[in-house]
């Protein structure tokens, strides 16, 4: 309790409070614009936090994460174009409500549901993350290796629908992490004679390139985008009776979203679809779903925002990202000298609890901003991409150059942007590469330390309870897409025969 009070007092400092506000505001703007995603926004913002203290820097990033997750519902409801992937399910009933002239009510329900889901997940984050960290503090190199491999196995369900493409992307990320000097022997690898590559490839240029620059190139290919908002927005607050009618849905979606968020590599998109499907399944009037019902807006929005706090639990306590955005946030923690994992709760406990309170405040803040400024935020959709894209590209170049004041980083960012652009064409996702890059060093170092300490005995991983548990979970994680596909095919065959 004392640590929470210290975190609260820290966040109430003017600079830290302003960072939360800027993060939420920027996140809502990014989320409201189709094509711009939360991982892209966080990656783009990281270079501008270099000169900041850890508390305002990290709280700004997590606040942007929260704000963008809600902001995606604005475009989903008004123009049937989800601002973020996590808002895709919101279009099912949000847009029909807008067509009926109830856009304001839909936005109000989305905002309230998002706030409830986000606040619930932050409470769970505060309760569970320290407990997981206390368990993980007893880990040695074998456990860290098995844990990192388990995190890497989640790549199979992260990003693309193709397991092979996801695993290939993760392998590329691990390979990039091996560039530069060996952390144990000191030998340089894959530097091709370049002094810049001797220090390795920083993940910040790679992340900015894969997320931000790639999206700029994709928007440029689509040509000029003109969107006209002609939905009347008024009466943002649903009635108390309408809110009470979805209370069971809000509780269910909060639990679903938080649980899905905790699972590494799942995130808000999966949570929103599951939340929507379960709300429809348990509804007394399932036939109304898809025609414009408030319950169909409340369920996915509550679930995808609940996933934000849930995804931060494995990210901070174990160093395993719970979503694509938290993979980028994990990189930001490393940039600011903080290794995510159990030691984070010992070495930087004040920062940890300040981030907790910052996320809580961010959810309250976008609740107020969303109800009061949805009409204003909707005007962002009028900005054409030929104005927005050059601005983003300039920010990419400036932010990357600021990392080491070196043009080599800019070239790496641009190359990654072009590679990411072509990867999108062939169905590859950026998140597996980032996750492989972030976990690659931990995998290599922990494996080699284990073999040194235990006389090159590879069976040590099967003799320690926690490492064995993570190995079993890894196998299940890799097999889960195949099992899920087999069950779906079996269900279809049964349906056809009946």
Contact between residue 49 and residue 334 where contact means Cβ atoms under 8 Å apart: no
pLDDT tens digit at each of 498 positions of the chain? 677 788 888 888 888 899 999 998 888 888 777 656 777 788 878 888 878 888 888 899 999 988 888 888 887 787 666 666 677 778 888 878 887 777 778 888 888 898 899 899 888 888 888 877 777 667 788 887 887 787 777 666 555 567 778 888 888 888 888 888 776 777 778 777 777 777 778 777 887 788 778 878 887 776 655 544 555 555 567 778 888 888 899 999 998 888 877 765 556 766 787 788 788 878 887 778 877 888 888 888 998 888 888 888 888 887 777 677 887 888 888 888 888 877 788 888 888 888 889 889 998 888 888 777 766 765 655 667 677 678 778 877 877 776 677 888 888 889 988 988 888 888 887 767 877 887 787 788 888 888 888 888 888 888 888 889 888 888 887 776 677 667 667 767 666 666
216/297 Cα distance (integer angstroms)? 30
**3-state per-residue secondary structure call for the chain:** CHHHHHHHHHHCCHHHHHHHHHHHHHHHHHHHCCCCCHHHHHHHHHHHHCCCCHHHHHHHHHHHHHHHHHHHHHHHHHHCCCCCHHHHHHHHHHHHHHHCCCHHHHHHHHHHHHHHHHHHHHHHHHHHHHHHHHHHCCCCHHHHHHHHHHHHHHHHHCCCCCHHHHHHHHHHHHHHHCCEECCCCCCEECCCCCCCHHHCCCHHHHHHHHHHHHHHHHHHHHCCCCCCCCCCCCCCCCCHHHHHHCHHHHHHHHHHHHHHHHCCCCCHHHHHHHHHHHHHHHCCCHHHCCCCCHHHHHHHHHHHHHHHHHHHHHHHHCCCCCCHHHHHHHHHHHHCCCCCCCCHHHHCHHHHHHHHHHHHHHHHHHHHHHHHHHHHHHHHHHCCHHHHHHHHHHHHHHHHHHHHCCHHHHHHHHHHHHHHHHHHHCCCCCHHHHHHHHHHHHHHHHHHHHHHHCCCCHHHHHCCHHHHHHHHHHHHHHHHHHHHHHHHHHHHHHHHHC
85/67 Cα distance (integer angstroms)? 14
- pTM comes to 0.68
Which residues, 6+ apart, have CB-to-CB distance to 27 below 8 Å?
38, 41, 63, 64, 65, 66, 67, 68, 69, 70, 71, 366
Among 161, 173, 119, smallest CA distance to 328 is for 173
Give me the long-range contacts of 385-388 (CB less than 8 A, separation at least 24). 385/35, 385/219, 385/220, 385/222, 385/224, 385/225, 386/224, 388/33, 388/219
Which residues, 6+ apart, have CB-to-CB distance to 16 below 8 Å?
10, 55, 56, 59, 354, 358
Among 312, 347, 418, smallest CA distance to 62 is for 312
105/296 Cα distance (integer angstroms)? 13
């Amino acid at each position: 309790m004392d640590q929470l009070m210290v975190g609260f007092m820290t966040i109430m400092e003017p600079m830290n409070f302003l960072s939360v506000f800027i993060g939420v505001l920027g996140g809502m703007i990014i989320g409201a614009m189709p094509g711009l995603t939360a991982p892209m926004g966080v990656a783009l913002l990281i270079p501008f936090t270099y000169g900041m203290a850890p508390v305002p820097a990290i709280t700004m990033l997590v606040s942007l994460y929260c704000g963008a997750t809600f902001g995606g519902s604005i475009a989903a409801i008004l123009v049937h174009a989800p601002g973020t992937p996590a808002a895709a399910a919101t279009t099912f009933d949000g847009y029909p409500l807008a067509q009926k002239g109830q856009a304001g009510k839909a936005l109000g329900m989305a905002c309230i549901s998002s706030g409830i889901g986000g606040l619930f997940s932050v409470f769970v984050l505060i309760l569970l993350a320290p407990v997981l960290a206390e368990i993980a503090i007893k880990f040695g190199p074998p456990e860290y290796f098995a844990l990192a491999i388990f995190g890497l196995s989640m790549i199979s369900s992260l990003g693309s629908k193709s397991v092979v493409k996801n695993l290939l992307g993760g392998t590329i990320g691990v390979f990039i992490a091996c560039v530069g000097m060996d952390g144990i022997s000191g030998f340089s690898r894959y530097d091709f004679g370049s002094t810049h590559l001797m220090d390795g490839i920083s993940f910040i240029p790679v992340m900015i390139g894969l997320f931000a620059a790639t999206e700029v190139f994709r928007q440029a290919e689509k040509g000029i985008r003109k969107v006209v908002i002609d939905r009347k927005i008024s009466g943002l607050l649903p009635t108390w009776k309408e809110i009470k009618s979805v209370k069971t849905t809000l509780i269910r979606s909060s639990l679903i979203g938080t649980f899905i968020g905790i699972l590494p590599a799942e995130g808000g998109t999966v949570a929103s679809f599951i939340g929507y499907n379960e709300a429809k399944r348990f509804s007394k009037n399932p036939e109304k779903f898809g025609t414009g019902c408030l319950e169909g807006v409340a369920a996915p929005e509550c679930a995808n925002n609940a996933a934000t706090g849930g995804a931060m639990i494995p990210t901070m306590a174990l160093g395993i990202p719970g979503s694509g955005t938290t993979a980028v946030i994990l990189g930001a923690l490393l940039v600011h000298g903080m290794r995510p994992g159990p030691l984070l709760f010992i070495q930087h406990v004040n920062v940890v609890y300040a981030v907790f309170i910052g996320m809580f405040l961010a959810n309250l803040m976008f609740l107020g901003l969303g109800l009061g400024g949805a009409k204003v935020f909707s005007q962002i959709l009028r900005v054409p991409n030929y104005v927005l894209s050059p601005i983003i590209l300039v920010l990419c170049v400036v932010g990357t150059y600021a990392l080491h004041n070196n043009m080599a980083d800019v070239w790496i960012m641009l190359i990654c942007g072009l590679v990411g652009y072509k990867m999108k064409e062939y169905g590859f996702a950026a998140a597996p590469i980032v996750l492989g890059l972030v976990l690659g060093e931990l995998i290599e170092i922990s494996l080699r330390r284990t073999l040194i300490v235990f006389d090159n005995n590879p069976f040590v991983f099967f003799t320690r309870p926690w490492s064995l548990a993570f190995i079993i979970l890894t196998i299940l994680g890799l097999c889960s897409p195949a099992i899920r596909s087999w069950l779906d095919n079996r269900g279809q065959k049964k349906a056809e025969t009946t």
